[in-house]
């Protein structure tokens, strides 16, 4: 693959995830292990005209890149009226779809656990009796305009003959299942069954879904680090990973030019004990690596986890931008928070709220803010190269919206097949119920890909 070397970011942030307590790292690691979890300044907004109040506006604007502004300022913003008609238009007659609030919504969800066959039991909150289903009765209301509902027929028509790849970890799988469920209103795909390559973690590296009526293919790639990573020591429960920050994971990167759209995501696996490699040599480690094996890695310089996130996304985006055969769109989906309260996963923590936070009710978590900043930096660093070679890089920024949804997680109401709400297990306050607030990701994806058509 023709790869261009990537320059390190000239800026570094004072806040370091690596200096967060070892307890934070171990908690995140254990949650990822047991549940296959995927865990500020704006860079690119999703814009649309604000004059329309209908769900199918007659005019729309193409998502565009704008100068950086701080989206974390929303913590101090006041809550607007829940009425969409009261939302003021911005001076430029456009609005940022990623800034807003959740408002009551009486419309039925796009699907249920009875109409969609793709919901994993781990996120099937309706099946396992989540006490309150109010989490499905809220809709995202951007400041200054309305977000149209997802038009499955229009989406599939626009995707005729095209292909889309989702690359990342278990939250990536959570996302693709949301999209498949929404599209099931119109058509259901056939999963292309082949001899699957299995990752060292026991997961299929690739799954493909084909919509024969539209010639549309959707692929899911398991690549939690986005870059090449080898499990060098599995004797300890969390393992020790050799992460090659300057080498994209070839299991997905070798297929870049086979896709029209690529959605990249992933952050939580970076908490796993890791040694960081560049140019064939070890250049650092995260805090967890020193606690594995016989402690020989303790002499290696510690590197902020956010630095590894930034480097990995820069490498992955650089591989896309440098691929001459790729002329499509690549999107980075930003980090989403966990919502454990009154303890962590192993100390009685849970997510039992039954309504969203209001804007300003909860400050942004420092780790979430730094990881999002790392993703934004990586996208900014590779934007110029992508423009030269014909690719288009975008930010699917869902962090602010999802920070406000502590009510949308399975908690204890999502289980492996045959499970129940009784017994001892780890509650899930990181993945999202299906249907649920995660369906917003597909609605925003719809706007980013189709609003200019």
Strand blocks (E) in 172-297: 190-192, 206-211, 216-222, 227-233, 240-248, 261-264, 274-278, 281-285
As a whole number of angstroms, the distance between CA 141 and CA 254 comes to 39
Catalytic residue among 96, 260, 397, 428: 428
As a whole number of angstroms, the distance between CA 413 and CA 427 comes to 8
CB contact at 8 A, 428 and 122? yes
As a whole number of angstroms, the distance between CA 266 and CA 220 comes to 13
- DSSP state at residue 1: -
**257 tagged catalytic:** no
395 contact partners, CB below 8 Å, separation of at least 6: 42, 43, 44, 331, 332, 334, 375, 376, 379
CB contact at 8 A, 113 and 147? no
Q: Is 315 helix (H, G, I), strand (E, B) or coil?
A: helix
List helix spans (H) across 215-303.
250-253
CB-based burial label for 47 (10 Å; 0-12, 13-18, 19+): buried
**170 tagged catalytic:** yes
**350 tagged catalytic:** no
Catalytic residue among 71, 170, 265, 386: 170
Q: At what angle do helices 305-322 and 366-389 cross, to 10 degrees?
A: 20
Q: Taking Cα atoms as reference points, which of 332, 96, 138, 114 lies closest to residue 226?
A: 332
Q: Is 57 helix (H, G, I), strand (E, B) or coil?
A: coil
CA 345, 372, 284: angle at the middle one, nearest 5? 80
H/E run at residue 32: helix 22-35
Catalytic residue among 96, 431, 442, 451: 431
As a whole number of angstroms, the distance between CA 91 and CA 50 comes to 10
Other CB atoms within 10 A of residue 19 CB: 10
Strand partners, 167: 221, 264
Q: Which residues are catalytic?
A: 170, 428, 431
């Amino acid at each position: 693959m023709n790869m261009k070397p990537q320059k390190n970011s000239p800026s570094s942030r004072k806040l370091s995830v690596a200096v967060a307590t070892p307890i934070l790292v171990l908690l995140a690691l254990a949650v990822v292990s047991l549940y296959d979890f995927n865990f500020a300044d704006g860079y690119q907004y999703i814009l649309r005209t604000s004059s329309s109040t209908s769900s199918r506006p007659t005019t729309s604007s193409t998502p565009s890149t704008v100068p950086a502004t701080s989206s974390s300022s929303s913590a101090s913003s006041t809550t607007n009226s829940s009425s969409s008609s009261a939302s003021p238009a911005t001076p430029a007659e456009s609005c940022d779809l990623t800034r807003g609030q959740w408002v009551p919504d009486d419309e039925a969800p796009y699907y249920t656990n009875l109409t969609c066959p793709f919901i994993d039991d781990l996120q099937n909150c309706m099946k396992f009796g989540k006490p309150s289903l109010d989490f499905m009765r809220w809709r995202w209301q951007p400041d200054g305009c309305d977000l149209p509902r997802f038009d499955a027929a229009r989406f599939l028509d626009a995707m005729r003959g095209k292909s889309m790849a989702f690359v990342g970890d278990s939250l990536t799988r959570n996302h693709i299942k949301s999209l498949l469920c929404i599209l099931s209103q119109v058509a259901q795909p056939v999963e292309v069954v082949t001899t699957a390559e299995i990752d060292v973690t026991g997961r299929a590296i690739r799954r493909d879904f084909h919509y024969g009526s539209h010639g549309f293919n959707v692929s899911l790639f398991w690549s939690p680090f986005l870059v090449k990573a080898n499990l060098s020591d599995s004797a300890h429960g969390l393992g020790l990973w050799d992460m090659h920050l300057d080498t994209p994971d070839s299991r997905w990167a070798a297929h870049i030019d086979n896709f029209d759209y690529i959605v990249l995501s992933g952050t939580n696996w970076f908490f796993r004990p890791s040694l960081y490699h560049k140019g064939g040599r070890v250049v650092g480690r995260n805090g967890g690596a020193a606690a594995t094996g016989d402690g020989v890695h303790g002499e290696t310089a510690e590197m902020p986890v956010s630095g590894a996130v930034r480097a990995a996304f820069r490498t992955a985006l650089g591989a896309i931008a440098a691929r001459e055969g790729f002329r499509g769109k690549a999107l980075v989906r930003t980090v989403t928070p966990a919502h454990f309260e009154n303890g962590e996963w192993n100390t009685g923590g849970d997510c039992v709220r039954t309504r969203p936070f209001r804007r300003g009710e909860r400050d942004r978590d420092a780790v979430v803010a730094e990881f999002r900043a790392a993703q934004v930096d990586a996208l900014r660093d590779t934007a110029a190269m992508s423009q030269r070679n014909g690719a288009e890089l975008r930010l699917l920024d869902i962090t602010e919206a999802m920070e406000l949804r502590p009510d949308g997680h399975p908690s204890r109401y999502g289980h492996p097949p045959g499970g129940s709400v009784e017994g001892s297990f780890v509650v899930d306050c990181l993945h999202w119920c299906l249907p649920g607030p995660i369906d917003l990701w597909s609605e925003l994806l719809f706007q980013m890909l189709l609003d200019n058509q």
